[in-house]
Structure 1
Amino acid sequence: MGSRLRNIQARAAEHGRLRTGYTQGNRPMRSSTWVVTSHSEEHVRTAAKLWGGEPEQWSPLNSTISQWRVITKASSIEALITPGDPLNQYNEMWSKGGCQRRCDGETELLSRQACLCARQFGEDWHLQPKGRVCSTTSRLNVMLPDLSGMGMWRAETHSFYAAQEWGGMVDMVLAGTDGRGFVPVTLRIEPRQRVADGQTKKFPVVVVELRGVTPRQALAGPMNAATALDPGAARQQRAAIEAPRPDYLAEAAAALTSDDVRDVWMQARQAGHVHPKGEDELSKQLMKLAAEKDAEAEQARKEAEPDEDGAYEVEVVEDPAPPSWPAVAQPPA
């Protein structure tokens, strides 16, 4: 492997964003399905083929740079958590002039003061109207294995409740993998509602959940790339390995002919229990049984041949006792 610059951090390019909303004119709209945006038309058109929707050109608010987007029909998409720590979370306030506040929950990092929102509105500051306080912002970098390119996609949510769940989920995975290896996940938009002060508020929350693997597998250490890309196939292979192996020798011993023994060997080969070239011990034992069946058949053929006088050896079998038939009912007189 070649050398790397030590004074910069290597990272994959960002291909686009995964959003839970879109703009209609100048009006922001929530979406119950994923919105995929990118500068690449190819990526967006591929996403539309996978998850539905019509690709279109689009410009973000307060921007003159044209991008591509598709409002998909999918509320769930498959993704991979990549090595490293993929999650960044801050409380942020933005304006046309850029980021005005960025807080880690305790300290506002731009001014180095204590959290301004909590100081002004208390611990329930997040219930204040949007624009008055910071937005809880979570950014999760994932790879979409079914789209071209080796770059990252950024899923972003401003949900206070999703921030709690994302942090807990990612931290548990990192505890098991130590930030090494890939982890297959599903990003799912889930509708939620909250009742406060007699009012019901409905909102979407992005849920990150394991896909195709159990917590035992996810927390057991780094996962190889093949398992992460196709966890279903890996699970089937593991089930086949763990399944009890049939007693092929017993089946072959009960077979009538060598062809039947060869059928047993073919079954074992299809199940992956013997070497395709017959170089394993089970194959050799089955070949020995097939040879014994051939020898038995040859001996039986020789015994069935006539002697020098043209007579066949016969076996005398006593006649069985005549069957006892049930009495037949007589018709009435």
Structure 2
Amino acid sequence: MTTSLVKDAAGMDKVVLREPLGATAQVHLYGGQVTSWKNERGEELLFLSSKAIFKPPKAIRGGIPVCFPQFSNLGTLEQHGFARNRVWAIDTDPPPILNSSGSGSCSSNKNSTVDLILKSSEDAWPHSFEVRMRVTLKRGGDLAQTIRVRNTNTDNKSFSFTIALHTYFSVSDINEVRIEGLETLEYMDNLQQRKRFTEQGDSITFDGEVDKVYLGAPTKIAIVDHEKKRTIVVKKEGFPDAVVWNPWDKKAKAMSDFGDDEYLHMVCVEPAVIETPITLKPGEEWRGRQELSAVPSSYCSGQLDPGKVLQGK
């Protein structure tokens, strides 16, 4: 297991995680953002737009942006908050992941891990805070993120926030994808001024734009990709809600950093805290986690029943 700090083509710092069977992940310090997660065959599991802009202050379109301290544009801050377009630092407490020789690499016989931290700045938000995130590529290729938010105010003031791990998954064809695990749940439809509805289908399929916040979502959600014969399982802790999003054709064409037809090859399934914001008193900390795994299965292959995946069988 190795961890290394390198420059991307645009000169931006990123951490590359590797595990012995060949799986890799990349984490840009800009945004604290996972921008790649590949299995042992080198297949990309996350979506990154071909038109993504790797230059501040624009957020990187794709991968796993961190939406904090605001999801959406309902508050006074910029869309989805500021964490996704700030430069995070390597966290030295816990102990540094990168070695002291300056080469920026180290090895582990277990997992490949990087710890990042984002601290408050006066121009961003009138509160003192620390956001710590550990990104781990596990032996076998599963990807885990643990994120912690701490109130470090010294003036006895609490603050509230919403948060999401805005995960873009790569899919073969959105028309051939279904989402399992959110059936019968209440959701807020962002395309209808957050009106509330109850999911009626036995799974979520796509034939147009979708932007829904599912409330009280289960700890496991499955993304079944028939053509790729693959199911991605999202396991979440500390995030009560889940967002499902695909912009479809008209909105895709309106985004300068998104290809006109790329909506066909992505879907966002995001662990989130949206309906009820988290409130922290000084010294208090909130913690959330997601773990992503990919298993070879589909309706066509018959190798796996997604229902059993969701039940942990």
- State whether TM-score is above 0.5: no
**Which has the larger share of strand?**
2
TM-score category, normalised to shorter length:
under 0.3
The structure number with the bigger radius of gyration is 1
Name the TM-score, length of structure 1 as normaliser.
0.21
Higher relative contact order (CA 8 A, sep 6+): 2
Name the TM-score, length of structure 2 as normaliser.
0.22
